[in-house]
């Protein structure tokens, strides 16, 4: 084995153990990085409709109360949550946990929408095309196209004028 280790060290620049440890460390770091770019969902995945060009990073989609549609070239910052689910506040204990509205709380996120990091979207809402939602905002109402909203709850702060470039 020492002879083999010597050959490998000369050819590859390290012992087998060191090379394996190095590759494992690289892979662990890649897996951590991948988690930043992998969406999560709760509920029926078939209720999530993501355009191929959308970038949603590590968003959380709760699909228990409706569908979520994300349009072309929409993009999300990190830790965005889009929630269709809700519970009946008039119920208590286990009954409240199980009292979930199963439909009618759809979320539509239009083409070119930017949801910055830590945005929370509560359905049912529609965010119009090319709107921008500022970091940390809470969206409870529809957002008009080409509008910048901010705050908790999110309120319009600016209209975007489309200019030719």
Q: Both 138 and 63 in a single domain?
A: yes
Q: What CATH number is given to the structural domain containing 103? A: 2.160.10.10
What confidence tier does 88 reach under pLDDT thresholds 50, 70, 90?
confident
Which residue in 42, 78, 87, 118 is the catalytic one?
A: 87
Do the domain assignments include residue 20? yes
| Mean pLDDT score, 74-98 | 93
Strand-pairing partners, residue 40, are 60
Q: Both 5 and 83 in a single domain?
A: no
Coil, helix or strand at residue 150: strand
Q: Are 88 and 50 in contact (CB under 8 A)?
A: no
Q: Count CB atoms within 10 A of the CB of residue 122.
A: 20
Task: Give one DSSP letter per residue of 79-104, joined into a string.
Answer: T-EEE---B-TTS-THHHHH-B--SS
Question: Which residues form the domain of 16?
Answer: 1-35
Q: How many domains does the chain fold into?
A: 2
d(CA 111, CA 71): 4
Verify whether residue 42 is a known catalytic residue: no
Give the alpha-carbon dihedral of 130, 135, 137, 141, to 10 degrees. Answer: 10
Supply the pTM of this predicted model: 0.78
> Tell me: the pLDDT tens digits for 110-156?
999 999 999 999 999 999 999 999 999 999 999 999 999 999 999 99
d(CA 148, CA 8): 59
- 158 φ/ψ angles, rounded to the nearest 5 degrees: -165, 145
> Tell me: the pLDDT tens digits for 40-57?
989 999 999 999 999 999
Which ranges of the chain does DSSP label H, i.e. alpha helix? 2-12, 16-35, 94-98
The DSSP H or E segment spanning 148 is strand 147-150
């Amino acid at each position: 084995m020492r002879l083999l280790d010597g050959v490998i060290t000369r050819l590859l620049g390290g012992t087998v153990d060191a090379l394996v440890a190095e590759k494992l460390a690289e892979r662990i770091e890649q897996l951590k990085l991948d988690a930043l770019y992998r969406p999560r969902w709760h509920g029926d995945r078939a209720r999530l409709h993501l355009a191929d060009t959308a970038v949603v990073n590590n968003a959380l989609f709760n699909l228990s109360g409706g569908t979520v549609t994300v349009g072309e070239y929409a993009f999300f910052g990190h830790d965005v949550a889009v929630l269709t689910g809700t519970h009946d506040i008039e119920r208590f204990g286990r009954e409240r946990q199980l009292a979930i509205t199963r439909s009618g709380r759809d979320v539509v996120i239009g083409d070119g929408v930017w949801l910055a990091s830590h945005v929370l979207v509560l359905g049912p809402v529609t965010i119009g095309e090319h709107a921008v939602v500022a970091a940390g905002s809470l969206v409870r109402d529809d957002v008009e196209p080409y509008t910048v909203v901010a705050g908790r709850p999110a309120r319009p702060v600016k209209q975007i004028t489309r200019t030719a470039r």
